[in-house]
């Protein structure tokens, strides 16, 4: 699950590398490597062994899991907001497809907003291609990562969604409320 926390967004990266978290390498990639030693190479990942540990990263490009842009705010969870090459996932009602990060449906529109004056969506898109590029925000922006399974829609009607992480039950228990 995406962790719940607050911090400050400080910069964006265009054409990001994806440094694959150790948990994904160990749980998802190593079993496939045992079946096919060229598995990661075929997918274009860069692999290094350093101090006896496997480090995997995916270079920038069309297939990069982070898409073309990521929004960075320091945190102990290695979580950030990012684009995605699998845009079709936004059409699904359930959205638990990541390992904690948050996919952004219109990342270049968001970049225009957070970067402010002088940074149009087109200007940010113009940075696509080539190597990783960092763009520092003119001022940090508070960001709050939350989790909600209830909301009020445009017609004022309460909408409830499945609580896939069980957070609502934990809150009810902490408040001494019945299930």
Catalytic residue selected from 55, 68, 82, 99: 82
- 55: annotated active-site residue: no
Tokens 């934990």 correspond to 170
Instruction: Say how far residue 23 (Cα) sits from the centre of its chain.
Output: 15
Catalytic residue selected from 68, 77, 99, 101: 101
Structure tokens given for 100: 């904690």
Q: How far apart are CA 120 and CA 48, in angstroms?
A: 37
- 82: annotated active-site residue: yes
How many other C-beta atoms can be found within 10 angstroms of the C-beta atom of residue 37?
9
Q: How far apart are CA 93 and CA 157, in angstroms?
A: 18
DSSP line for 119-130:
--HHHHHTT-SS
Q: How far apart are CA 64 and CA 73, in angstroms?
A: 20
CA nearest to 37, candidates 28, 49, 29? 29
Beta bridge partners of 82: 70, 103
Active site residues: 82, 101
């Amino acid at each position: 699950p995406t962790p719940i926390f607050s911090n400050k967004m400080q910069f964006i990266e265009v054409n990001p590398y994806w440094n694959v978290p150790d948990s994904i390498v160990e749980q998802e990639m190593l079993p496939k490597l045992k079946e096919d030693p060229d598995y990661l190479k075929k997918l274009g990942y860069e692999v290094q062994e350093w101090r006896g540990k496997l480090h995997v990263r995916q270079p920038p490009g069309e297939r990069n899991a982070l898409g073309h842009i990521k929004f960075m705010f320091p945190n102990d969870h290695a979580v950030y907001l990012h684009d995605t090459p699998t845009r079709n996932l936004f059409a699904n009602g359930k959205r638990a497809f990541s390992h904690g990060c948050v996919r952004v449906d219109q990342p270049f529109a968001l970049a225009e907003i957070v970067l402010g004056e002088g940074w149009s969506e087109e200007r940010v898109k113009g940075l696509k291609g080539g190597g990783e590029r960092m763009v520092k925000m003119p001022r940090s922006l508070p960001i709050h990562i939350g989790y909600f399974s209830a909301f009020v829609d445009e017609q004022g009607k309460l909408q409830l969604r499945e609580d896939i992480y069980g957070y609502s039950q934990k809150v009810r228990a902490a408040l001494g409320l019945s299930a």
